[in-house]
Amino acid sequence: MGMCCSRHNPESGRPLVYHQGYKMHEVMEIGGHMNSAVGGGGGDPRYTADPNRPLGSLQVKRQGVDIIRTPTTPFHPNCTRSRIVVAIYNYQSREAEDVSFVKGDRMEIIDDSEPDWWRVRHLRTGDEGLIPWNFVAEEKSVESEDWFFGTVSRKEAEKLLLLDENPRGTFLVRDAEHNPHGYSLSVKDLEENRGYHVKHYKIKPLDKGGFYIATSQTFPTLPALVTAYTKNALGLCHVLARPCPKPKPQIWDLSPELRDQWEIDRNEILLIRRLGHGNFGEVWYGKWRNNTEVEVKTLRQGTMSTQAFLQEAAIMKKFRHDRLVALYAVCSKEEPVYIVQEYMKHGSLLEFLRNGEGKHLQFGDLIYIAAQVASGMAYLEVKQLIHRDLAARYVLIGDNNIAKICDFGLARGIEDDEYCPRQGSRFPVKWTSPEAIVY
């Protein structure tokens, strides 16, 4: 953790970590000009931040969203020593420009100037190419440990640990929510009267370095503490049996080739199964280049002008948050226009609750879904974007009840009475934001 290449937060004394979905240049821009981060150039006046609103409040709100993050400590640009990262997930290359690797592989950083894709040399194969930055961590750092989950919230930790496949003693370590220098240990336990549940322990720092849970047992490093409790419970509810499996982080581009362009050839998209239809057109399950799962929206002819669509899609492409569906690409040169986005296997929240596995969800699970939607909406609010149509049909559900908001921008350009209400016309009042109703 104390390498010369780490960036540090002067207030906390701990490495300043940028998380998946949060580009470094965007973090800087929030403290400066909000519209430069959103609209680019002169920006669209619809997305200009309120001049009477203190920018400090935006910054606090940005840091407070509860999303699963994969910590990766950026390297200092002036560092002269060899910079080695270790893979914490498997990755299969998608084109000639990127490099495949498996968990545990070591790579040397050649260029980390791009926010999403780093150029590396694979130390085992000698291959050079691009890799997704959030699939690796600095070698021998705490972020490279299987059990370290960074700033995952207490509730998120419980959700991950309580998955059926995790036995008693499954654990993870995360940043403490109220102590900038400490950590929390979360462990899955089983009791006859309570069933499976999660216990949380505070890991406190020592003034002269090191950590402890109980004052009678102190350890020089965080890995030393974890290793000790994997051998003996030492007062914990259970010996630490195995690290909790980590969800793979989000990749925001179909490939590094498409990181700067997102108009793609529609021949690369294979439509496999129709999932449904809605106000915008049909929705299909498909594959990009026959290997990457995607969801494809086909816009009805005449639904909206191509220019209006591209304007909104450009804005959608720039918004990145783990509770927003990733927009990968578009095919707009022919009708019907394709919107290619992240595939969520359980479909819309509406169908999930009415006809899917969601019919049997417990109250806590419903609260969990609602909290995720609120987290995504809080991010859109910081970006000064009004969804206009937040209905259950525009929330998609993936594995483990992960919820993400989609179509956050399309309603603005639809040429339809429901979305462009005129005097005497109908509109979906239950789902329309107060700002849009007044307008």
- Spatial separation of the C-alpha atoms in residues 120 and 182, rounded to whole Å: 32
Q: Which residues, other chains included, contact 190 with Cβ-Cβ below 8 Å and sequence gap of 6+?
A: 168, 196, 197
Where would I find the H helices in 166-266? 222-231
Cβ atoms of 67 and 324 within 8 Å: the answer is no
Quote the Cα angle for 394-337-307, to 5°.
95
- Spatial separation of the C-alpha atoms in residues 226 and 217, rounded to whole Å: 12
**Which one is catalytic: 98, 105, 389, 407?**
389
Q: Residue 44 catalytic?
A: no
Angle between helices 154-161 and 363-382 (to 10 degrees): 140
Secondary structure of residue 302 in the 3-state scheme: coil
To which residue do tokens 């479909």 refer? Answer: 347
Q: What sign has the CA pseudo-torsion 173, 133, 26, 68?
A: negative
Quote the Cα angle for 380-39-255, to 5°.
85
Cβ atoms of 58 and 52 within 8 Å: the answer is no
Where does residue 438 fall: left (phi above 0), alpha (psi -120 to 50 degrees), or beta otherwise? alpha
Instruction: Look up residue 253 and give its two tokens.
Output: 């581009």
Q: Within 10 Å of residue 59's Cβ, how many Cβ atoms? A: 14
> Which positions are annotated as active-site residues?
389
